[in-house]
C-alpha cells in the first residue's frame, strides 16, 4: 500500500503515529496536536488555563491586575455538586512602583512569588518566597520595585 503523504511508505503503529508521520516537519502543528491529545486525556471537569490567555482583569489599583485561575470569577464551576468553592486561585501581576493598599483578610491568604520582588510592609519577598496570613489579619500596603508575578490562594470572598 502506498500513500503520497508518507513518501510512498506504509506507516504502522497507533493512529497518533500515523498522523505524526504526515505532518512532514510542521513543528507548530505537531505541538498543537500534542497539546490537544494531552488535554483530551484529562478527566472530565479538569481545568487548563494557558499562560498566553488574555484573561487579565483590573483590580481597581493602577498597575495591578489579576488572572483568576479557579474559584468565583474564573468562569468555571469548580465547586462539587453545586457547593461554593472553598478558595480562589489567581495570578497577581504588579508593575514596578505600583502600590496595592493595605486591606483586611476575612480568611487565610497565601502568596507565592513567582518572579520579581514583592514588598509587604517592611518585608521583601523574592522568587520562591511564600507568605501565609491568617484570617482576620491586616495586610500592609504592597509594592514592587521591579514588578512581580505572584500566585495567590485566598477566600472566594476576598475582593481583588
The pLDDT tens digits of the residues spanning 98-153 come to 999 998 888 999 999 999 999 998 999 999 999 999 999 998 999 999 999 999 99
Express each pLDDT in 67-98 by its tens digit.
988 877 766 555 565 666 678 899 999 999 99
Query: Strand (E) positions, 59-129?
Result: 64-70, 88-94, 99-100, 103-104, 109-116, 118-120, 123-125
Domain assignment present for 45: no
**Do 34 and 61 have their domain in common?**
no
Residue 110 belongs to domain with CATH number: 2.60.120.10
Question: Domain limits at 143?
Answer: 57-154
Enter the pTM of the model: 0.68
Rounded-to-integer distance, Cα 14 and Cα 38, Å: 15
**Do 82 and 141 have their domain in common?**
yes
The C-alpha cell at 142 is 504592597
Structural domain total, the chain = 2
Amino acid at each position: 500500500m502506498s500513500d503520497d503523504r508518507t513518501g510512498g511508505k506504509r506507516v504502522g503503529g497507533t493512529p497518533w503515529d500515523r498522523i505524526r508521520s504526515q505532518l512532514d516537519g510542521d513543528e507548530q502543528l505537531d505541538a498543537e496536536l500534542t497539546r490537544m491529545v494531552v488535554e483530551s486525556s484529562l478527566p472530565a471537569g479538569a481545568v487548563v488555563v494557558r499562560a498566553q490567555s488574555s484573561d487579565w482583569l483590573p483590580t481597581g489599583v493602577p498597575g495591578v491586575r489579576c488572572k483568576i485561575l479557579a474559584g468565583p470569577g474564573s468562569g468555571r464551576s469548580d465547586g462539587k455538586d453545586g457547593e461554593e468553592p472553598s478558595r480562589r486561585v489567581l495570578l497577581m501581576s504588579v508593575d514596578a512602583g505600583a502600590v496595592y493598599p493595605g486591606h483586611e483578610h476575612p480568611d487565610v491568604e497565601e502568596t507565592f512569588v513567582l518572579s520579581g520582588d514583592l514588598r509587604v510592609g517592611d518585608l521583601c519577598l523574592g522568587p520562591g518566597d511564600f507568605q501565609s496570613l491568617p484570617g482576620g489579619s491586616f495586610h500592609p500596603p504592597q509594592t514592587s520595585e521591579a514588578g512581580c508575578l505572584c500566585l495567590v490562594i485566598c477566600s472566594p470572598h476576598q475582593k481583588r
